[in-house]
Structure 1
Amino acid sequence: MKKWVLAATACVLAISAAAVAQRERMSAECRQELIQLCRGAEGGFGQCLRTALPKLSNPCRKAMSDRAMARQERPDGMVEIAYGSDPKQRLDLMVPGGTTKAPILFFVHGGGWSIGDKVAGEKTKAPWATGQGWAFASANYRLVPQASVEQQAADLANALAWLRANAAARGLDPDRIVLMGHSAGAHLVALLGTDTHYLKDAGVPLSAVKGVVLLDGAGYDVPSQSSAEMNIVKPMYEAAFSNDPKRQAALSPTRHAGAPNVANWLILPIQSRADSQAQSCGLADALRKAGASAVVAVVPGESHGSLNKGLGEEGDFATGEVERFLVSLR
């Protein structure tokens, strides 16, 4: 039994890169919660751990997320800015040198709408973006269950409004913005780009957003994904969207894809996820019918996490696709 518990603890640590690096252990309460949740689970303990996050108590889920972010590095030149009064309403900003009007690449992290932090991936993405001549902004937003998905979308629209209002002082072009999100972040930026009342309420004109990049999202049509038999994170969807079909539809980018929408879209599902590809193609088809340009480029050889982590690396497939997309919008 002792060996089994140690193995389980090792798996828990594997979820968090920071915890592995520090060789720290989760709290006794969180370890016990994971063991109780996953003991005897179908598919084994390792499979359970990969899908356990939405089922954990809020303190344990937050602790795991905080550990994962603890050793993430900010690149030199990144500054943190408050765009609202809540501690989560913060964004990081890095602006390329030698320009007084840089276009803005606005990144939104994932985490199942309930965890995550803006610092994830900044070390690679921010220098890459500024090297392409784009200012890089990465935004936090309030999280489920303390906030609703509707409030999350409003937070992000308000972050965009702050950037536009302070564009001149920060060396930004307020009317050349590209939204990019990973996982739940992909859902949120897709929602901003289709259900445009969030931008309107924040005073952000739709014309200021030139494009949207989606990194392996699978929740563009929430009712179909939430009810899918193979949706292994169904509890996460229930926590974010409830079981109300009307609310699920109201928070589905695909259901809002009738014009007007952001005009240009690049959608990057990974090859190994049939649900992500199906959701991506469904959204792209709806966008094209409404007159937008929407390209789906399936990314080979990547996992859900490695796609996001590798973005900005030289020779990376997805990075090349994004670079070409950004050039087309300049």
Structure 2
Amino acid sequence: MRPAAQALIAAAALAVLASPILAQQRRGEERLPASCRQEVVRLCGINRGQIAACLREKYAELSEGCQAELRQRIEARGGREGARRGGAAMASSPALAPQQTLAYGSDPLQALDLWVPEGRPAPLVLFVHGGGWSRGSKSNAVGRVLPGHLLAQGYAFASIDYRLVPAARVEDQAADVAAALAHLLARADALGIDRTRVVLTGHSAGAHLVALVGTDETYLRAAGLSLADIDGVMPNDGAAYDVAQQLALAGPQMRGTYEQAFGSDPARHKALSPIAHAAAPNAPAFLLLHVQRPDAAAQSKALAEALRKAGAEAEVSGFPGEGLRGHMEINRNLGQPDYPATPVMDAWLKKVLGGQAKFTKLTL
């Protein structure tokens, strides 16, 4: 079954589940376990109108146990045929399985998935997932079109896990981004990566983290690297480049997320704001993507302006899409040939990384 068809089936199944997930189940139906309901709330909030769309986007970020519970409800509601179709969709294999999974640290979350094209050495694009700094996983990239699209362009692609709030701090997460990159570059020859051509990208909270690593060299230096090891940074629809401003403007639905991640200390807010580090040195080139969310648009433009003043090349590109739906769509669709942001990304990567890899044979 094609991934697009699987996604449609999953969407239909989750739409059936969305309204009663947080409420009392139908007569004869067992409620979702409290732990699973709490996972859904942490991941998607309590707005029932958005739960189906959110779960369709982020189902892979739920624990295996919660995924199994949801599949059981599909079976109970839809009968054997519904279970066959819905369960197959939700448990389907990714569109492009990673070629390798590597550990870059001792914590179970310090791991990454890697894809490398046949022609090597290949420029590297490293992806950092979103999830409000407290959830999400590297599988956020799996099943999207982005890995396959970039492989076809001749780029290696890595998607990383990192330690999550509240067990870890945002500072630890930025350190994990740098450590994952250092791990790959230290093994570049064996992996088929061109260590001289590197771009960092990330969505949502991941956009903030790559922007922070691309402006505050502290994290790279601690991993034995420097900003000279990065050719460009492509944050995708982030909205915490100025943490204090984001906290001041955040609505009640998101305020808790930002407070959990960044706390209440103004000095820490500044230290974790990429815009506060925009004075040189920085990564040499930035492409800030956003949909029509007011905070993401405003913060992207402000960061780009600050970077330009410091001498970095910084481009901003906005695309259709509003609210949570638009925020999810740009992550899901980036890499689709007909999605407006894809040719913008492709042209920028070609400019920053010099086009496709210079393919050479490498014996391991």
Same fold (TM over 0.5): yes
Contact kept in structure 2, 1:221 and 1:253, CA below 8 Å: yes
Question: Contact 1:65 / 1:116 at 8 angstroms: preserved in 2?
Answer: no
1:284 corresponds to 2:304: yes
Q: How far apart in 1 are the matches of 2:311 and 2:264?
A: 32
Which residue number corresponds to residue 230 of structure 1? 251
1:4 corresponds in structure 2 to none
Counterparts of 1:178-193 in structure 2 under 5 Å?
A: 178-193=199-214
RMSD between superposed Cα atoms in Å = 3.2
Segment of structure 1 superposing worse, 64-73 or 245-254:
64-73
Q: Does 1:296 align with 2:319?
A: no
Deviation readout 1:37-81 (Å, 9 max, x if unpaired):
9xxx9xx9436869x99xxxxxxx964997499656262452100
Counterpart of 1:318?
A: 341
Number of corresponding residues:
301
1:176-213 deviation per Cα after TM superposition (whole angstroms, max 9, x unaligned)? 11000000000000000001110111011211200011
Contact 1:270 1:299 in 2 (8 A): yes
Local SS of the residue matching 1:144: coil
Change (3 A) 1:163 1:93: same
Q: Distance in 2 between matches of 1:132 and 1:105?
A: 11
Q: Following the alignment from structure 2 to structure 1, what is the Cα–Cα distance between the partners of residues 39 and 189?
A: 49
Q: Give 1:133's match in structure 2, choosing from 143, 147, 154.
A: 154
Q: 1:250: which partner in 2?
A: 271
* Corresponding residue SS for 2:118: coil
Tell me if structure 2 keeps the 8 A contact 1:72–1:119. no
Q: What residue in structure 1 maps to residue 179 of structure 2? A: 158
Does the Cα contact within 8 Å between 1:106 and 1:180 map onto a contact in 2? yes
CA distance in 1, matches of 2:311, 2:113: 33
Matching residue of 1:96: 117
Distance 2:210 2:65 in 1: 21
- Does the aligned pair in 2 maintain the 1:82–1:90 contact within 8 Å? yes
Residue by residue over 1:104-128, the C-alpha shift from the partner in whole angstroms, topping out at 9 and shown as x without a partner, is: 0000000000000111133311111
SS in 2 for 1:73: coil
Inter-partner Cα distance in structure 1 for 2:104 and 2:95: 19
2:167 to 129, 142, 146: 146
Aligned with residue 10 of structure 1, among 9, 18, 24: 18
Gaps of 5+ in 1: 1-6, 15-23, 54-60
Tell me the distance in 2 between the aligned counterparts of 1:134 and 1:26: 46
TM alignment of 1:166-205, pairs within 5 A: 166-205=187-226
Matched, 1:269 2:267: no
Query: What is aligned with 1:211?
Result: 232
Q: Return the letter of the residue paired with 1:10.
A: A
Q: Could you tell me whether the CA contact under 8 Å between 1:9 and 1:31 is conserved in 2?
A: no
Distance 2:31 2:182 in 1: 39
The CA deviation at 1:267 is 0.5
Percent identical pairs in the alignment equals 45
Which of 33, 45, 48 in structure 2 is aligned with 1:46? Answer: 48
Change (3 A) 1:71 1:218: farther
Counterpart of 1:114?
Answer: 134
Structure 2 unaligned segments of length 5 or more: list them: 1-14, 23-28, 56-60, 71-89, 355-364
Distance 2:254 2:269 in 1: 15
TM-score when normalising by structure 1: 0.82
Higher Cα Rg, which structure: 2
Q: Contact 1:215–1:308 (CA<8 Å) still a contact in 2? A: yes
Does the Cα contact within 8 Å between 2:98 and 2:142 map onto a contact in 1?
A: no
- The CA distance in 2 between the partners of 1:142 and 1:66, in whole Å, is 21
CA contact (8 A) 1:83 1:89 kept: yes
Deviation at 1:140, TM superposition (A): 0.4
Whole-angstrom CA distance in 2 between matches of 1:196 and 1:152: 14
Which residue of structure 2 aligns with residue 327 of structure 1? 350
Letter in 1 for 2:33: A
Residue type matched to 1:128 in 2?
H
Q: Distance in 2 between matches of 1:110 and 1:36?
A: 16
CA contact (8 A) 1:312 1:319 kept: yes
